[in-house]
Amino acid sequence: MKHLITTSDFSIEEIEALYEDTRMFNDLQSNSYLSGKVVVTLFFENSTRTRSSFEIAAKRLGAQVVSLDVGTSSRSKGETIFDTVANLNAMKPDAIIIRHSECGLPGSLIDKVDCPILNAGDGMNAHPTQALLDLFTIIEHFDGKTQGKKIAIVGDVKTSRVAASNVKLLPRFGIEPIIVAPEHFQFENSDLRQVNSLSEVIDEVDVVMSLRTQLERHSQVYYNSLQEYAKDYCITSESFGDRDILLLHPGPVNRNVDISDEMLEDKRNKILEQVSNGVAVRMAILKKLIN
């Protein structure tokens, strides 16, 4: 049985086949590929996009969705997550989608269940469906010609599971990630090129991915206010000029901290396209893993 814990669970050929299905699902219309199937979503961390995207994807495929309300589940009565999952598994769902703050937790469940586990984000570790939808958005924009392209990943890279998944996935398709961040937000011990300012690389990159500052994962205070950070790292029309660059962000965007109001209106920003692509990519993933 196949699970999706990190993007390395899928070969390049599997990802290419997945994107064929994604194109088929791109109008986000309903079908019956998963009719009669039941998908459980189990989110132990906040989520707006990923959870609704997975749930809409499953419903568009004709599956039923059971969303466990973690706050009122037996977790609050002291049950371990392993026991919760074992109990859910005994009800024979066709897939379990899980988000948790602990790195590696979704992967540790795969021996305990009889259905695919889909990692919807585990701590700072991985967010495979986000990276797969980011890559899909880039591939479609460049008509499949990704070899030699460069992407600046800007902001709080160190604690971002989106960045962690993208720096592993994108190079497999010939895209070089360049990290743009203050030293305290850069990766430690990385072979990637890391710079302090977007102006150093803006003339060579094809894509800019802005990230949110993940205050909830910081153990110390780096800035007295996010405005202080924004002075150097907010993506503005001045930083982009008239360059032909694609602007991405996994959401949620902190307006005028990550990206200026003006750039959020700019045609080069493909954030809502990422969101739509996210549903289609997740439809393709659910179809692949469940069928």
Binding-site ranges for ligand ASP (CB under 6 A): 121, 127, 161-162, 212, 214, 250-251
Size of the chain in residues: 291
Which residue sits closest to ligand ASP, CB atoms considered? 212
CB 125 within 8 A of CB 103: yes
Tokens 């895209």, residue located: 175
Provide the minimum distance between the beta carbon of 78 and ligand ASP in the complex, in angstroms, as a whole number: 27
**Environment class of residue 280 by beta-carbon count within 10 Å: exposed (0-12), middle (13-18) or buried (19+)?**
buried
In whole angstroms, the minimum distance from the beta carbon of 212 to ligand ASP comes to 4
**Would you say 157 or 198 has its CB closer to ligand ASP?**
157
In the complex with ligand ASP, the residue whose CB is nearer, 24 or 56, is 56
Based on CB atoms, which residue is closest to ligand ASP, 22 or 160?
Answer: 160
Instruction: Give the Å distances, CA to CA, from 47 to 155, 163, 224, 262, 274.
Output: 20, 17, 26, 26, 16
Which is nearer to ligand ASP, 129 or 146 (by Cβ)? 129
Q: Least distance in Å: CB of 230 to ligand ASP?
A: 15
**Shortest Cβ 104–ligand ASP spacing (Å):** 16
Q: Radius of gyration over alpha carbons of the chain, in Å?
A: 19
For residue 132 the two structure tokens come to 């797969």
The phi, psi pair for 33, rounded to 5°, reads -55, -35
Nearest to residue 254, comparing CAs of 220, 210, 221? 210
Closest approach, Cβ 227 to ligand ASP, in A, equals 18
**Nearer to ligand ASP (CB atom), residue 90 or residue 215:** 215
CA distance 78 to 116: 25
Residue type for 142, please?
A: F
Closer residue to ligand ASP (CB): 150 or 217:
217
Nearer to ligand ASP, 53 or 260 (CB): 53
In angstroms, give the least distance from the CB of 50 to ligand ASP: 6
What string of H, E and C letters represents the secondary structure of 270-285?
CHHHHHHHHHHHHHHH
Q: What residue has token string 């019956």?
A: 32
Amino acid code (one letter) for 233: Y
Q: How far is the CB of 47 from ligand ASP (least distance, A)?
A: 6
Distance CA 119, CA 127 (A): 7
Can you tell me the distance from the alpha carbon of 234 to that of 84, in angstroms, rounded to the nearest whole number? 42
